[in-house]
Structure formats: structure tokens, C-alpha cells
Structure 1
């Protein structure tokens, strides 16, 4: 664990980029071999807006990384945050606990809030309006959402007392995990089900991308599935019944156009309730 934390404490930006591109390439190949949904669609054309938003996510986060660094240095130096208030523990336990806490405060919680607060939901809609969810969908986030997620992660650093090594380690694990659980891959149902007790599996996350409530408002987990199971937001739906997209923005052509997606958060709609969909 010490060697891992030492590496991520000073991980070069190039290496972080390799993790993103490498994971994307790997799962792109795998989903072409064992796809969950065999519906024909133009993968490269579909990927263009998603890759655009992946690039904007990187452009938003890289210049602001120094705030993560300064904040992490401050909490460590001032013995501030949950990790620093706990009794001394083995380094491996410290690392695992830190990753779990970041996953909750920096990922699960903001994701849940984005679904419950309408202005934030409107921004998050860009991610949900993809009609062919695959590994490129993982980082399909409006630039405003990149800023929102950044703010939550920054808050998490202070609440948890996270050193920068754990922040960068978590972000790297998060990239791979989300590329995996968004990928259009077909795992044996038993394998997927077993995985879903520990991490967010592909079938589990696909339920979250179903176009109607209440399934859209479920399975918020990023890496670990424990938060959904503990907090009552876990749901199951047979993959044969899953339809991607979001019912309030049903136009696939507009949802594939970068210009339309950039202004999507500022459009008006009436969000349906569960009773209206029954």
C-alpha cells in the first residue's frame, strides 16, 4: 500500500491520461466482442459527443488539481478530517477506509443530490440522455457538472481529511470502474449479480440508465454498491426491459448533437412523477 500511495502522490498527468484512454480502449474492444445489447448503431458517430465531453471534463479538472493538492496538504498538516481524527491504524486499512469515504461523499452523495435538486438534475441530464449507453458514456458530463462534482470532491477532502495520494488513487479507480459499469458488455448473470454485492456491476448500473422513474432514481453508486444497498436506493430490472435515454428529452438526434447537449440544462420540461408513469 505504501508503494501505491507513493506513486499516486506524484502521479504524472500523462499517466492519468493513459489510464483514461487505456481503460476506454480496453472496454471498447471487450464490448465489441461480448455486447450486452446487439442493437446496431454507429459506434464512432455515437462516441463523438461523449469523447468531446470527456475532453471537457479533463480540461475542467486538470487546471483545478492544484486546489486538491493545496487542500490535501492543509488537512494533513493541520490534522483535520475524519481520517486524521481516528486512532492510528494499519496503512492498508487507512487506504481502504479513505477510498470508501471518498466514494460516498465525493460520488454517491453528489449523484443522489443531482437527481433530487432540479437545477442540478438538468445539468446531469446530459449524461442520461444517451440512447446507446456504452463505455464512452462514462465521462459524458456537461462541463457544469464537472465543476459540481469537483466542488463535492473538494468538500470531501476537508470532511475526510484526505491526502492527495488517496484523491488521485480514487480518481483513477473511479475512471476504470465507471468505464466498466457503463460498458455494453454481457457478463453471465450470476457473475454480474455476485459482483453487484461489492462493486457497481454493468447490469446494476444499466438500471440507473432506464428512461423512466423510479429506476432512473436508483443505483447511484460509483465504485461500491454498498451505499445503494445500505441506504435503500438499490433496484433491479431485467436487462431485456431496459430502454436507455430519458423520457423528458426523447429526441435521439438532439441528444447526439454537441450544441444541443451544451444548452440542454437550460431547456424547460416537466419532470414526471412515479405515479404519472404508472
Structure 2
């Protein structure tokens, strides 16, 4: 059995292990090097977010089974948009084309979650965190976990990627999602260069600012090129960035796990 085959058969386990390693490493770095917050306060914040792992994992494991079934079907039937792209067995063209198409799909998914109120009510759970750090990565309502994985089924069906592409994509996505939520920001000059192509913590922090129009900026997952192309790119200085969402700034709601779970089922009032 090759490494690719092993990872393909154990994709969930590999992704969970990768997530755990990256989050643990960055969390320790945040504890050691960040100023202005004690370990006790950090843990009180983190444990609320980490509880979402227990609601997401069962859903993720079950639905990913269907994702892999769709991958198997599309590959065996030569179905999907990738079959209309002339790659002629060129793996570079094949992998890069699919990676970019899947990243574009994730950009579309993210925009949809913001623009359709019933979906936004689930997604705002993630945005309601008033202290963005690596633990914010896993702050996802189980309802959004269902929606996100269902969209992934759709993208896989439309594009027809091989399992190896899906694994590669998920690896990069996991890495960039965690890094984007870390407290650490890149130096301005480095961010200016890296941010030409990739979503950096500096850019994603803009997206987590508590007010529009910044909440509707920098939807990108791994690549920032879609935001630049579709006019949703934005920048904001760290001193001007305030995390959270202006409709839900009460920490008695956004700081308690059970209260957070209830948010999507309450009346939504968008700010004027």
C-alpha cells in the first residue's frame, strides 16, 4: 500500500491528526509569546471553542464517507469538469487546475454563507468569537459542519478530483485555516508580498472585524486572488481591528458553549 492510498483510506484520521498537531503547536506559541492575556483567561476562552470539536467530528466522519463515495463514482465514470480541461496526463496541470478550482469553490461557499440569512445565522457563530486565535478555527456550529460538507460533496461531484487531489487540498486547507486564525501577524512588508497570492493572518483578521464592510472582505480560503479578482479584497491595520460581530457582542452569549449553539435559532437582526 502506497502512502497516497493509505491517506486516501484514512483521510479523516490524517486530517484530524494534522489539525491537532498544528493547533497544539501554535497554541503553545501563543501561550509563550503573546502578551496581554493570562494562561487562565486563554484557557477559559479556548475550552469553549474546543468543545465544538465534539459536535463536528461525528458529523464530519459520517459525511466524509459520502464525499469519498462521490469521488469514487466520478473517477470511475470520468465525470467532472476536470475531464474537459486538456491536461493530457500532465500531473502538474491536473493538480494545479483542480486545486485552484476547488479553492474558487470554497470562496463561493464562503460568500454564500455570508449572503443567505439562514446560512449566515450558522456561520456567524464562527465570527462571534471576540478573541481570534488558533482555537477559533474549530469554532463551527454543527449546522455549518453539515452545510460545509454538503457543499464539498457538490464541488467534488462537479469537478471530479482524484482522492490524491482531495487529500492535497485538505492538507493545505487545514494548514492555512489554522495559520489564518493565529494571533501572530506577518510584518507589513512580508504580508504585502505573501498576500499577493495567499490569505495571511493579517488579511483574515480583516474578515473577522466586527463591522461591515470589513466582514465582507477577504473570503479566500487559501488563495487571495479570488478576492482581488471579484472586488472583495480589503486591508485594515491591527490597531483598527476589533474581533466579533456587531449583532452579537454580549459575552454571556458568545462566551458560553450552550448559548452559542442557540444563536442560529434566534431572531437575526442585521445592523443597518
TM-score range (shorter-chain normalised) is over 0.9
Give the corresponding residue for 1:205: 204
Name the CA distance, whole Å, in 2 between partners of 1:14 and 1:266.
32
Shift of 1:34: 4.5
Give the corresponding residue for 2:127: 128
Shift of 1:5: 4.7
Name the CA distance, whole Å, in 1 between partners of 2:101 and 2:3.
18
Q: Could you tell me whether the CA contact under 8 Å between 2:56 and 2:140 is conserved in 1?
A: yes
Mapping of residues 145-224 of structure 1, within 5 Å: 145-224=144-223
SS in 1 for 2:251: coil
The aligned length equals 268
Q: Could you tell me whether the CA contact under 8 Å between 2:199 and 2:224 is conserved in 1?
A: yes
Deviations 1:55-108 (A, max 9, x none): 322221112222111101111111111112222241122112211111111x21
Q: 1:169 to 1:58 in 2, by over 3 A?
A: farther
SS in 1 for 2:61: helix
Q: Could you tell me whether the CA contact under 8 Å between 2:217 and 2:233 is conserved in 1?
A: yes
Q: Could you tell me whether the CA contact under 8 Å between 1:193 and 1:201 is conserved in 2?
A: no
Q: Could you tell me whether the CA contact under 8 Å between 1:192 and 1:201 is conserved in 2?
A: yes
Matched, 1:93 2:90: no
Mapping of residues 28-107 of structure 1, within 5 Å: 28-35=27-34, 38-40=35-37, 42-87=41-86, 88-105=88-105, 107=106
| RMSD of aligned alpha carbons | 1.7
Shift of 1:163: 1.7
Q: Could you tell me whether the CA contact under 8 Å between 1:61 and 1:146 is conserved in 2?
A: yes
Query: TM-score when scaled to structure 1?
Result: 0.91
Give the corresponding residue for 1:276: none
SS in 2 for 1:253: helix
Name the CA distance, whole Å, in 1 between partners of 2:250 and 2:64.
36
SS in 1 for 2:198: coil
Shift of 1:39: 3.4
Name the CA distance, whole Å, in 1 between partners of 2:32 and 2:79.
48
SS in 1 for 2:21: helix
Deviations 1:147-171 (A, max 9, x none): 1111111000111111222223222
The farther-off stretch of 173-182 and 203-212 is 173-182
Q: Could you tell me whether the CA contact under 8 Å between 2:71 and 2:163 is conserved in 1?
A: yes
The farther-off stretch of 112-121 and 63-72 is 63-72
* Gap regions ≥5 residues in structure 2: none
Shift of 1:211: 0.4
Name the CA distance, whole Å, in 2 between partners of 1:108 and 1:199.
13
* Gap regions ≥5 residues in structure 1: 274-278
Runs of 4+ in 1 over 4 A off after TM superposition: 3-7
